Amino acid sequence: MSFVKTSLILSAFLLIGLPSLAIAQQADYKYDMFEEERKMHEVFLKKTRDTFIVYDSIQLDSLVEANMAEYHIPGVALCVFKDSQIVYTRNFGYARVADGIKIADTTLFVLASISKTFVASAAMQLWENGLLDLDADINDYLPFNVDNPFFPDDSITMRMLLCHTSSIDRRDGNWIPDIVYGGDYQGDLGQYLQDYLDPSGADYYAFNYSNNAPGTDFEYSNYAFALAGYIIERIAIDNSIAASLEQYCQDSIFAPLGMNETSWFLSNLDTFNIAMPYWYNNVTYIPYGHQGLPIYPCAQLRTSSIQLARHMMAFMNYGSYYGTRILDSSTAELMMTDQFPSVPTDYPGEIQGIGWYDMYSTEDGWSYWGHSGSLWGCKTWMLFDPVERVGFLCLTNSTGNGTGMSYIMNGLAGFSRDPDMDAVVGGLDNCPFDYNPDQMDADTDGTGDLCDNCSGEYNPEQEDTDIDNVGDSCDNCIDIYNPNQIDSDLDGTGDLCEYICGDANGSGGINILDITYIVSYLYKGGPAPDPAVSADADGSGGINILDITFIVNYLYKGGPEPNC
């Protein structure tokens, strides 16, 4: 690190105060946030492989609230969609803790690395229009040189930038002292990247690149995506399409999708509507303040849960959202393809597409495309299943612990599944395991007619004491298993409940023959009393010699009456 950079770090401590100091104490972003995201993915993959639980909305609420409390997450926004329709949103906690401002559907969050998927969409639009060659040397589009000094003859391409195989190192600690608090970074993105990547730059080192040839190794790189964003901006300017990356995205992605409160820059947004990023000091939540990153295209986009869902739905639906097409279907399909199959990612159970990754389980057959993000004061995650055509996302305003985020996402996966394949997500399906696309519920108790254990009678709790699949509210023999509900005398009480306690042989009275009947059942392989409870004279919950003693005592010694 140069003397200038070292001085800037010390100045940052003095000028910015505690939040910046907390960030600096994390030392090396490369091994903090990156490893934290890796752990998030590992926990999610294991949890989702090990459990197949369909959460309803009440169970999901409990799961989210428990993890917010345990892992110190002040605010959470959730969104679930099916096909091209948002089917569920839910918000928890606070956007501004001290002010008591709660999270809402309209609350904006910094997306962290989810921002990269928008860079990918913009790049592929230019590719579709013949303005960008994914496999050309990126120096064809730059006013400075970007070459790996260890492999100077190997070109770095846009495809590599968008798939983390460019060989540009993920040495993110370099830009920490240049973060701006409370506003946007005012420096020039191109100059900042030139200083880091070009041999003439003030912060250039050979080891800003890895010692692997371009295209041969996965190296997650924020600088690479910032450079991709800058190349998009250069192409847009050179072709008189837009004056900046911001304007290009507004015109070509945000506005078409109705993402009207979305921007790369704080100056374009109402900062009071942006969830404050926090860290927890083991006592209370401390605000980091809103941050302006010098390499903003990799992580600085801000939007709301509902607006983000629109971009997800457009991508899941192969480039189209409610008739608005931002990408050709073949382009979206290409982006959901492993671009470097011989290069494994650093994440378990994943493949890297163009800007998006796929989390999959070969054992269970599920697959989710999406992206996660971590930045100081936020964790974000979005995933969708292209087969079931359902997606979900979680936005938070705390660095917190990735395990909590992973558990929430696992809950969302369970909530959004459709096990009966009736096109209704399981968490909202009134019969999640029975095909009932019409969702008929005649008694309006929240359980569909097809699986209601007392259809036609309001019983939202679906209580069933004897577990015979007939709800207590309409069971003619609540305490005895009688799924056939036989009631010979039509008096409303099932035959199995119309017995005399102690009348083991069902003769209609208690006598010595009942004793003989129980002895035969217990010791000679005779038939069982019907119902069995009729022979449990002492009410112990089972039939044994003490019941015989109880009946003898009752019949011949003036003992108490049998009480099953």
Final residue of a structural domain among 368, 393, 416: 416
Q: Is residue 544 part of a domain?
A: yes
HSE, side-chain direction, 13 A CA sphere, residue 404 = 24
> Residue 272: left (phi > 0), alpha (psi -120 to 50), or beta?
alpha
Same domain, 321 and 194: yes
Q: Is residue 264 part of a domain?
A: yes
Same domain, 405 and 504: no
Which ranges of the chain have pLDDT less than 70? 1-36, 47-52, 172-173, 348, 361-365
Sign of CA dihedral 208, 212, 213, 215: negative
Q: Is 379 helix (H, G, I), strand (E, B) or coil?
A: strand
Same domain, 412 and 546: no
Please give the Cα distance from 302 to 321 (Å, whole number): 20
Please give the Cα distance from 203 to 353 (Å, whole number): 31
Of 287, 276, 298, 379, the residue nearest 22 (C-alpha): 287
Domain CATH for 554: 1.10.1330.10
Range of the domain at 513: 499-564
pLDDT tens for 14-57 read 333 344 444 433 433 443 566 667 777 777 777 665 555 778 89
Diameter over CA atoms, the chain: 110
Q: Alpha carbon of 189 to those of 174, 231, 372, 527: distances in Å?
A: 14, 11, 24, 87
Q: Is residue 450 part of a domain?
A: no
Same domain, 391 and 519: no
Domain CATH for 356: 3.40.710.10
Q: Is residue 130 part of a domain?
A: yes
SS (H, E, C) 484-551: CCCCCCCCCCCHHHCCCCCCCCCCCCCCHHHHHHHHHHHHCCCCCCCCHHHHCCCCCCCCCHHHHHHH
Same domain, 7 and 111: yes
Instruction: Count Cβ atoms within 10 A of the Cβ of residue 225 and give its class: 0-12 exposed, 13-18 middle, 19 or more buried.
Output: buried
Q: Is residue 491 part of a domain?
A: no
* pLDDT confidence of residue 22: 45
Q: What is this structure's pTM?
A: 0.81
Final residue of a structural domain among 391, 416, 441: 416
Same domain, 31 and 149: yes
* pLDDT confidence of residue 25: 38
Same domain, 388 and 510: no
* pLDDT confidence of residue 432: 87
Same domain, 78 and 203: yes
pLDDT tens for 304-350 read 999 999 999 999 999 999 999 999 999 999 999 999 999 998 776 78
Name the amino acid, one letter, at 163: C
Sheet strand arrangement including 75-82: 101-102, 85-96, 75-82, 390-396, 378-385, 367-375, 357-360, 350-352
SS (H, E, C) 399-423: CCCHHHHHHHHHHHHHHHCCCCCCC
Please give the Cα distance from 468 to 482 (Å, whole number): 6
Q: Is residue 457 part of a domain?
A: no
Same domain, 52 and 194: yes
Tell me how many domains the chain contains.
2
Of 277, 396, 296, 192, the residue nearest 22 (C-alpha): 277
Q: Is residue 482 part of a domain?
A: no
Same domain, 409 and 505: no
Of 143, 134, 141, 139, the residue nearest 163 (C-alpha): 134
Q: Is residue 507 part of a domain?
A: yes
Final residue of a structural domain among 416, 443, 461: 416
Task: Report the chain's terminal Cα–Cα distance, integer Å.
Answer: 83
